[in-house]
Chain A
Amino acid sequence: MHLSKDFLAGARACLPVAPGMIVFGMIAGVAMIGAGLTPSLAAVMSVVVYAGTAQLAALQLYAAGTPLPVILFAGLILNLRLVLYSLALAPYVSRASRRRKLALSYLVSDNGYAHFAARFASPPDSRGKVDYLLGACSAIWVMWQAGTAAGIVAGASVPDGWHLEFVVTLTFLALAIAVIRDRALAAAAVAAGVAAVLAHPLPFRLGLLVAVAAGIAAGIAWERWTR
Chain B
Amino acid sequence: MDALTAWVLILGLGATSLLTRGSFIVFLARLEVPKAAQRALRFVPAAVFTAVVVPELAFAGGTLRLGLDNPKLLAALVAAPVAWRMRSTTATILVGMAALLLAERYLV
Contact = CB atoms under 8 A, between A and B. Distances in A.
B50 A170 contact: no
A84 B41 CA distance: 8
A162 interface: yes
Interface residues of B, number: 65
A189 B47 contact: yes
A178 B25 contact: no
B67 interface: no
A193 B51 contact: yes
Interface in A166-220: 166-167, 169-180, 184-186, 188-193, 195-197, 200, 207-208, 211-212, 214-216, 219-220
B17 A54 contact: yes
Nearest to A93: B25
Interface residues of A, number: 90
A129 B18 CA distance: 21
A86 interface: yes
Interface in B22-78: 22-26, 29, 33, 38-59, 64, 72, 75-76
A211 B12 CA distance: 22
Contacts of B55: 64, 196-197, 200, 207
Contacts of B56: 60, 64, 169, 172
A27 B89 contact: yes
Chain A contact residues, majority secondary structure = helix
Interface stretch (A2-10, A100-108, A138-146): A100-108
A176 B49 CA distance: 5
A21 to B, nearest CB: 12
B106 interface: no
B107 interface: no
A126 interface: no
A193 B48 CA distance: 9
Nearest to A222: B43
Interface in A9-53: 23-24, 27, 35-38, 41, 44-45, 48-51, 53
B49 A179 contact: yes
11 contacts: A48-B14, A60-B52, A64-B56, A85-B21, A105-B22, A170-B97, A191-B47, A200-B59, A200-B64, A216-B40, A219-B42
Given A77-B44, A219-B42, 16 more contacts: A79-B16, A82-B23, A84-B41, A89-B25, A104-B21, A104-B25, A170-B92, A178-B87, A185-B42, A188-B46, A192-B51, A196-B51, A196-B54, A197-B54, A197-B59, A207-B55
